[in-house]
Amino acid sequence: MIEMPASATMRAHIVRVKREEGKTGLFYATSPDLKGLLVAEPTLDGLERAIPQAITDLFAACGTRVVVTRADEQEDNLRSWVAFPSEIAKSELAKAESTLRS
């Protein structure tokens, strides 16, 4: 599990995710950056849809609510995701909406 000091809760985290096909036909995702991340799905599309929720759940287990999105569009086995605190997302969205109204 990722250890996050109090000061770390207000910054974005890059989570690299390694995708592999297992011998039984399932696809697996693990991360060298987020201990405990293990996702298994029968299809690559299912794996891609399940990864953000798994990252969100692991951060929530540490008491941090995050929004997760892909950081790149590479088509290799190691992909990057960004997990940033939901407070930051909410604040930035409010700023953007305020700017649009002006």
The pTM of this model reads 0.77
Task: Report the number of distinct structural domains present in the chain.
Answer: 1
> Residue 90 is part of which domain span?
6-101
CB-based contact 30:19 (threshold 8 Å): no
CB-based contact 83:13 (threshold 8 Å): yes
What is the residue-level pLDDT of the chain in tens, covering all 102 positions?
454 444 444 688 999 999 999 999 999 999 999 999 999 999 999 999 999 999 999 999 988 899 999 987 766 778 999 998 887 766 666 677 777 777
1 part of a folded domain: no
The two structure tokens encoding residue 86 = 């939901």
42 part of a folded domain: yes
Q: Which residue has the tokens 């700023």?
A: 95
